[in-house]
Amino acid sequence: MNGIIHQLEQAGYHVSIDDKAPYYQGMLALLGGVEGIERLRDVAQVRLLSHAQIRKGRAYTYRELFQLSGGHPQKLEQVLMQLVERHIWLRGYRLRCPNCTLEHWYRPQALSDPLTCAGCYRPFVVPLEQPFTYQLNPLFAEGLRQGALTVLLALYYRYQQNQAVQWAFGVLLQGEYQTDIDLMVLEGERLYVIECKDNVTDDVVVQAQIERGLAIVRQLPNAEYVFATLGQPPPTVKQLPLKVWSAEQLLPQSI
Ligand SMILES: [Zn+2]
């Protein structure tokens, strides 16, 4: 990270870190470091982590997760077990209070006989049989909502090629141009300035962001601008002087 900041400061920029960076760092810690991103580099897992309801914190049974993952059974069970062990997927129970009818998600350690409803605070007896449901760790879910999936997979893509890379998440630059860069990776002398988007929703905003990024890259020696996305890169991007990393590079097989 120091090498990256040094280059940016040399080019006359004041460097700070944006609000998303602590989420990304926290996710990396849960994964057990950059090597742990390998666990996310799985088509079934990427489908689950891209699902809007899962990102909102909804809990699903294993059977439901299996269906949501798009019928790709490969590795799902194995990866899920590893991510449960790392507290990235949390195990619990979806229970409905017979008094106020509120359905709420309870961690196993919160269970008691009777259980106090999280809504109406009246006691009720938990059913005799109940399947586990799985919910994303809230830090992980928040990071994903902030765009972490493409950021982490892009970092892992370079890390696989060269484990000596340095990186910085969410770099805020103030100088001749102001912008924030989702991810920077320094690989030897080469600095990758990477705009990451799970999906492109607004072409115009993306293009403005890219143009600011390209202007900054021109001021840095040996820098290259990259647009990384798990979705389809917008047509305008393809006409700009930049590199695209798509699902082909970021995932073991296209989804
Ligand atoms: Zn209740």
pLDDT of residue 70: 84
- Give the per-residue pLDDT at 72: 66
- Range in 44-48, 105-109, 162-166, 207-211 the model is least confident about: 207-211
pLDDT of residue 255: 47
Please report, as a single letter, which amino acid is at residue 70.
G
Dist CA 159 CA 153 (whole Å) = 10
The pLDDT, as a whole number, for residue 143 is: 97
The domain limits of the chain are 2-19+147-250, 23-136
| Mean confidence (pLDDT) of the chain | 93
| Residues 36-92 pLDDT 10s | 999 999 888 999 999 999 999 999 999 999 999 986 666 789 999 999 999 999 999
Tell me how far the alpha carbon of residue 131 lies from the centroid of ligand 1, in angstroms: 20
Residue list, CB under 5 A from ion ligand 1: 97, 99-100, 102, 117, 119-120
228: left (phi over 0), alpha (psi -120 to 50) or beta: beta
Which tens digits make up the pLDDT trace of 95-106? 999 999 999 999
Q: Where are the alpha helices (DSSP H) in 120-187?
A: 138-145, 148-161
pLDDT bin (cut points 50, 70, 90) of residue 94 is: very high
133-136 and 89-96 strand pairing: antiparallel
Domain 2-19+147-250 belongs in CATH node 3.40.1350.10 = yes
Residue 134 Cα to ligand 1 midpoint, Å, equals 22
Q: What is the pLDDT of residue 74?
A: 66
Residue 91 CA, ligand 1 centroid: distance in Å: 21
Distance (angstroms) between ligand 1 centre and the Cα of 119 equals: 5
Q: Please say if the pLDDT value at position 236 is more than 50.
A: yes
Q: What is the rounded average pLDDT of the residues 213-220?
A: 92
Which amino acid, one-letter code, is at 95? L
Distance 103 CA to ligand 1 centre (A): 8
